[in-house]
Amino acid sequence: MNSQVIVLKYSSNILRNNPIKDPHIRNVLVYLPPSYSKSNRKFPVVYLISGFTGFGAMNMNISAYSENIQQRLDRLIRTKKIKEMIVVMPDCFTKYGGSQFVNSAATGKYEDYMIREIVPFIDLNFRTIPKPASRCIIGKSSGGYGAMWLAMRHPDVFGLMVTHSGDTAFEYCYMKDFPDFVVQIGRYGRGHKAVSNFIKTQLNFNQPKPKDFHNILNVIGMSSCYSPNPRRKEYNFDLPFDIYTSEIIPKIWEKWLQFDPVRLVSKYKTNLKKLKMIFVDCGTRDEFNLQAGARIYCDKLRDNGIKFIHQEFNDGHMNIQYRYDTSFSFISEYFSYA
């Protein structure tokens, strides 16, 4: 028996007419385990969400020296490291690089897209076990952030959560990039017009991209999610710092902090206690200082009496898909199969 990965097209009413005219018809990839086609039983579901500039289909990339997600899951099932499960890989990419899986007036309502459309769509079309104890949300980097955000706000949907190197403790992972952004964006003009010019001229397939492309895009992407402003004339979000001096603008920075998981544990304590499993890990050499955020986040969980699993490993931020071997084994152990 072989596994299958099915590619479905989903036409979203929620993403239709989104603010930046991104497609509302998206691919949703669904991994069906080997015995799915040979049985009538139901399976628990993992929602695997992507990091910044990523989308579901990228999990299927073929490489000479590393496994794609289908190969990895097949091996883990074959060697009995995990039980069989369905794995769903949605597309929440935006023109600005990503959605952070939040509702934003600058990009669209991606939290609602996940909760109100994708999860019910999967339950309707596949033999799932449609309850929180049989659903996990997992991601790495911005996907790890999305897992934290969606699980703590929707424990009635996701009963298990895994965050690999997820964005948290924003002053450590984001703020260091702001002075560099001010210098780098100057290549595209002056002031806010430079940001507008970057969006108009660089968000395309033209290659090669400048070395500073990702840093600029990351600041733009996060601003579009955390501090949207449809009334701004140059673009539809606010930067949390002065575009000339890079000085923090407290009123806007505070909007960002309202999305920071380390600052939300107490607010969502009751919801987090409902989760059957919380798994947090990060490399000790993470280039975005996310190991600090993971440690602070886990301290906040501990202080609020919330159970969790925290692991660290000797690596950085990139190419750490091998950590799925560990997290999927925990998911398999904690899942409800009935």
For residue range 25-59, list pLDDT tens digits in order: 999 999 999 999 999 999 999 999 999 999 999 99
Q: How confident is the model at residue 64 (pLDDT cuts 50, 70, 90)?
A: confident
How many structural domains comprise the chain?
2
- pLDDT exceeds cutoff 80 at 249: yes
What's the pLDDT score for residue 110?
98
- pLDDT exceeds cutoff 80 at 229: yes
Shared domain check, 165 and 180: no
Buried b (16+ CB within 10 A) or exposed e, 279-311: bbbbbeebebbbbbbbbbbbebbeeeebebebe
- pLDDT exceeds cutoff 90 at 267: yes
Shared domain check, 199 and 124: no
Q: Which of 211, 242, 257 is the last residue of a domain?
A: 257
pLDDT in tens, 12-21: 999 999 999 9
Q: Which of 222, 257, 292 is the last residue of a domain?
A: 257
Buried b (16+ CB within 10 A) or exposed e, 264-274: bbeebbebbeb
Shared domain check, 153 and 85: yes
Q: CA 285, CA 276: separation in Å to the nearest integer? A: 29
At 45, give phi and psi (nearest 5°): -130, 135
Q: What is the CATH number of the domain that holds 16?
A: 3.40.50.1820
Report how far apart, in Å, the C-alpha atoms of 145 and of each of 116, 168, 186 are. 19, 7, 30
Q: How confident is the model at residue 309 (pLDDT cuts 50, 70, 90)?
A: very high
Average confidence (pLDDT) over 236-244: 97
Lowest mean pLDDT among 62-71, 137-146, 256-265: 62-71
What's the pLDDT score for residue 62?
86
Diameter of the chain by CA atoms? 63
Shared domain check, 290 and 243: no
Among 113, 156, 116, 149, residue whose Cα is nearest residue 135:
156
Q: CA 230, CA 250: separation in Å to the nearest integer? A: 19
pLDDT in tens, 203-220: 999 999 999 999 999 999
Shared domain check, 25 and 152: yes
Domain extent for 220: 172-257
- Residue at token pair 């603008």: 249
Shared domain check, 269 and 211: no
Shared domain check, 179 and 95: no
Shared domain check, 203 and 160: no
Q: Which of 210, 242, 257 is the last residue of a domain?
A: 257
Q: Model-level pTM?
A: 0.97
pLDDT in tens, 151-204: 999 999 999 999 999 999 999 999 999 999 999 999 999 999 999 999 999 999
What's the pLDDT score for residue 63?
87
Shared domain check, 184 and 141: no
The answer to whether the Cα torsion of 89, 90, 96, 100 is positive or negative is: negative
Shared domain check, 222 and 179: yes
Shared domain check, 196 and 301: no
- pLDDT exceeds cutoff 90 at 303: yes
- pLDDT exceeds cutoff 80 at 1: no
Shared domain check, 137 and 65: yes
